[in-house]
Structure 1
Amino acid sequence: MFQNFDLSALVDSPYQVGNVLTLRQTEQSELLRVKIKKLQQPWTLSCCMVVDVLSDSPDKAEETAFLKLYDWRFAAQQRSDQGLDPWTEQSASDYAKFVLSGDADTFLQQLKRPDDQWGQYQETDENWDAVQDEVFLVHEARNMYRNETTVYKRLGPLQGTTVPRLIDAVELDIGPTNLDDENKKDLFKVQGILIEYISDGFTLRHIGSMVPAEALQGIVDQAVDIARSLGDHNVLNADVRIDNFIVTQTHESDQKYRVVMI
């Protein structure tokens, strides 16, 4: 069925330091090239890395950014939670066959049914085979991507101050280049976000050893204000943890430390 398709991009992980990824900006539909600078591991529900945004213009400096891709193939915790083994060449072959047959899109549409309609179907996740589990991970990855981009849009006024600036929502194409069917091509795309990179920072957990005692209260107050401000923008964060706050030094006279929620 797919002997004429090159599946190398689907099989192999492109996430190696020094590799250049070609991303598509989802809104402008323009291509963006980034070079991987550092992998932020372990990977849980997404694959995170520090990248340099490459420019074709010689007079434009590169920007260092943080890339978060919801790539179900290599998100270790997501696969473990679903009881799936690590991604292999056989996994890629089975997934490609499922997508190219049209069965993956049919199964994905079933997953999008409202919860109150599940009762009329006999099949549950206990009856799924491995390739259906893979498509379920794709479904979950898309939901996480959709939720995160929605949150960043709602927090637009806070971007670049108390939350990182969203540079772009992006897609990475991992499918065969000679595939024409748009629905099938869509299942060979990894979605993600490119955001401001907060460098030289430390988490709220470590402020006791990283800042002078007289600065502690001001930093804690900033973190509390940030958490409260989410509600003002209709965002409910059920995962407020001290490790989600990054503290960096600033060069401003009135505020020596900046707190950012990630």
Structure 2
Amino acid sequence: MDRRDSQCPYVAGNTIKLYLKIKGEELATDAEVIRLFEPFTLSSAMVVRIACSSLAREGDMVLKLFDRQFATQLQEDEKLRPWTSDIERGYHQFVLDGGASDFITELKNNGEIAHQGETWNTCQDEDYLHDHLSDLYETEAQIYDALRDLQGHDVPQPVPCVKMPGFSLTDPKPVSELIGVSGILLQYIDGFPLTDISHYTQREQWQSICEEAIQILHRIGDRGVLNEDVQTRSFIVQKDKACSEKGYKVFMIDFALCNFRKDYADDNNWSESKAIQDEEGAIGLIMQDRLEGGFVYSRSNRYKKPAHYYE
């Protein structure tokens, strides 16, 4: 049985219960699912409509939930057993008995156990998924905080602390944090992926749009962020009459797989890591090839690979 065959709450027209943390206060609200961004990868992303005056925002928003049941990419990468309702019941009991908390503690304190995934039982698999996705959520929330001055201009404005409570399968009451789901609410950018600009824009606009995407990458990097998962679909292009020069504005999304400058030993280590990752090449080279002459990529050489990289 595929995980998506379970009673998935993420269906257009459904309403899901959320808790938002705004200015230190936790507020309960309902979110109506308007449409999904599929396929789900590391998170479940969807457009939602929320009636919550404390948000001080109007219109639809994007909800990203780091839900282990529907993290399709991570499940496939880790070659996990197919999900079943029996596995879910077993995991809930594992949480309630304290085994899940003990396993996470061991996982964080014992590096060896992280390499023993093939020997884990299904409850430990689910526990690992939950913990790993919690880490991805924390990273994305921290990145948005670090990019505070770019919010609403280069990246969407976020509400980075959202919880969907977990419930017991036998008693409809909230249970442990190890079953609840963390998420982020984002300003909804009504546009299209950078990948598809040839379908939505004129050829003469491709150069400036792609260059803007690369400049956004540079501005984010200047704030001490290295992105290990730069994709052309990580950029949303929105028609914007205020941009008289090209008529379009670019935003970057998806920051769960990022590192911070503070995690690197020194400037050389940071610069080399940025060069090897080649974030701008992941956009420039791909779009140059895709647009077949409609965009010419000029490498900035902001970061240079170490000499030994070519040996």
TM-score computed with the length of structure 2 as normaliser = 0.72
One-letter amino acid of the counterpart of residue 192, structure 2: F
* Paired residues of 1:68 and 1:193 also in contact (CA < 8 A): yes
In structure 2, do the counterparts of structure 1 residues 61 and 163 end up closer, same or farther at CA, with 3 Å as the change threshold?
closer
Superposition pairs of residues 15-34 of structure 1, within 5 angstroms: 15-26=10-21, 27-34=24-31
Unaligned residue ranges in structure 1 (runs of 5+): 1-10
In 2, the alpha carbon distance for the partners of 1:174 and 1:12 equals 14
In structure 2, do the counterparts of structure 1 residues 190 and 253 end up closer, same or farther at CA, with 3 Å as the change threshold?
closer
In 1, the alpha carbon distance for the partners of 2:40 and 2:71 equals 5
Partner SS state of residue 185, structure 1: coil
CA apart distance, 1:254 = 2.9
Counterpart residue number, 1:5: none
Matching residue within 161, 165, 171 for 1:169: 161
Q: CA RMSD in A?
A: 2.4
Matching residue within 38, 51, 54 for 2:51: 54
Counterpart residue number, 2:292: none
Unaligned residue ranges in structure 2 (runs of 5+): 1-5, 254-311
* Paired residues of 1:38 and 1:50 also in contact (CA < 8 A): yes
In structure 2, do the counterparts of structure 1 residues 254 and 172 end up closer, same or farther at CA, with 3 Å as the change threshold?
same
- The answer to whether residue 64 in structure 2 is matched with residue 71 in structure 1 is no
One-letter amino acid of the counterpart of residue 12, structure 2: V
Matching residue within 51, 56, 78 for 1:82: 78
* Paired residues of 2:81 and 2:122 also in contact (CA < 8 A): no
In structure 2, do the counterparts of structure 1 residues 78 and 232 end up closer, same or farther at CA, with 3 Å as the change threshold?
same
* Paired residues of 1:245 and 1:260 also in contact (CA < 8 A): yes
More relative contact order in 1 or in 2 (CA 8 Å, sep 6+)? 1
In 1, the alpha carbon distance for the partners of 2:38 and 2:99 equals 33
In structure 2, do the counterparts of structure 1 residues 136 and 67 end up closer, same or farther at CA, with 3 Å as the change threshold?
same
In 2, the alpha carbon distance for the partners of 1:196 and 1:111 equals 35
Counterpart residue number, 1:38: 35
Greater alpha carbon shift after TM alignment, 185-194 vs 245-254: 245-254
In structure 2, do the counterparts of structure 1 residues 145 and 203 end up closer, same or farther at CA, with 3 Å as the change threshold?
same
- Alignment: residue pair count: 242
Q: Identical aligned pairs, as a percentage? A: 34
In structure 2, do the counterparts of structure 1 residues 178 and 223 end up closer, same or farther at CA, with 3 Å as the change threshold?
closer
Counterpart residue number, 2:100: 104
- The answer to whether residue 228 in structure 2 is matched with residue 238 in structure 1 is yes
Counterpart residue number, 1:160: 152
In 2, the alpha carbon distance for the partners of 1:227 and 1:47 equals 24
CA apart distance, 1:69 = 0.4
1:184-209 alpha-carbon deviations (Å, 9 max, x no partner):
6211210011101111x222222233
TM-score computed with the length of structure 1 as normaliser = 0.84
- The answer to whether residue 111 in structure 2 is matched with residue 118 in structure 1 is yes
One-letter amino acid of the counterpart of residue 10, structure 2: Y
